[in-house]
Amino acid sequence: MSDLKGTAVVTGATGGVGALYAAGLAERGYDLLLVGRQQSSLDAVAKAVKQKANVKVDILVANLADTADLARVEARISNDPAITALINNAGAATFGPLARLSAEAIDETIAVNITALTGLTRAVLPGFLARGAGAIVNIASVLAFHPWPEFGVYNASKAYVVSFSQAVQGEVAGKGVLVQVVTPPAVDTGFWNSAGLPVANLPAGAVMKPQHLVDAALKGLDRGESWVFPSLPEQAIWEDHQKTRQALVGGLMNGALAARYVA
């Protein structure tokens, strides 16, 4: 058990990226609080982690799309000074044309990817700010920047993660708290089957190994990076995108009517 690192909360820790985060954080000496819907899967991840690292692993079974369960997780993490990191990894998605998506599928994506991520961030933030330390890692997606048809709710939920996180980064600047955004490309996990579009449908060269993603993300965490783009060849592409965005905002934040709309 580590007194130095404290406890990292990992949501969606039943498998995929979340389970790899759990293993990598434990290797770094973090105790863990694993959050997920399935006790048996969380138990298996906890057992595997403890075989490799001498850390404490707690489990919290919760459906993050359920309001009462989310409130229970928020209450659990909001007043625990041992918690030093929150990995908002849980994600839900359903692929298909909007006209055919069920209300339940839409609601679940928004509840997990937006409402839960926001509520959990809000839950840990006061403690992190009071202690002047802590890391919140929000898992976005390249689809945040790519409005791919038939995945609109998911893409938009991840665009929310980017915008929300960037705004909170502005709030915590200089206060010792890291709000990190990790932006994976397509990754070979159960995600695609769960979403209804098996990964075999994606171009092979576009799919990253989950271990590569998590290795890069944890390297980014070790370095205190605010933005981790594991597949982007040059970080300068993101910096250029920010300059373009700022130019757009500068142009838009203007009370004068643009000349082309003047009769």
Ligand X SMILES: NC(=O)c1ccc[n+]([C@@H]2O[C@H](COP(=O)([O-])OP(=O)(O)OC[C@H]3O[C@@H](n4cnc5c(N)ncnc54)[C@H](OP(=O)(O)O)[C@@H]3O)[C@@H](O)[C@H]2O)c1
Q: Known catalytic residues?
A: 154
Q: Tokens 């202690």 label which residue?
A: 131
Number of Cβ atoms within 10 Å of the Cβ of 106: 16
Q: Phi-psi region for residue 101, left (φ > 0), alpha (ψ -120 to 50) or beta? A: beta
Give the type of residue at 68: A
Distance of CA 218 to the CA centre of its chain: 13
Nearer CB in complex with ligand X: 69/80: 69
Smallest Cα–Cα separation from 74: which of 107, 40, 35, 28?
A: 35
Give me the 35-54 binding string for ligand X, x by CB under 6 A, dash otherwise. Answer: -xxx--x-------------
- Give yes or no for residue 24 binding ligand X (CB under 6 A): no
How far is Cα 185 from Cα 141, in angstroms, rounded to an integer? 6
- Give yes or no for residue 198 binding ligand X (CB under 6 A): no
Among 33, 73, 92, 221, binds ligand X (CB under 6 A): 92
How far is Cα 126 from Cα 206, in angstroms, rounded to an integer? 39
Among 90, 125, 216, 217, binds ligand X (CB under 6 A): 90
How far is Cα 71 from Cα 86, in angstroms, rounded to an integer? 16
Give me the 115-154 binding string for ligand X, x by CB under 6 A, dash otherwise. Answer: ------------------------x-x-------------
Among 63, 84, 94, 121, binds ligand X (CB under 6 A): 63
Give me the 98-117 binding string for ligand X, x by CB under 6 A, dash otherwise. Answer: --------------x-----
Note the residues at the interface with ligand X (CB under 6 A).
12, 14-18, 36-38, 41, 63-65, 89-92, 112, 139, 141, 184, 186-187, 189-191, 194
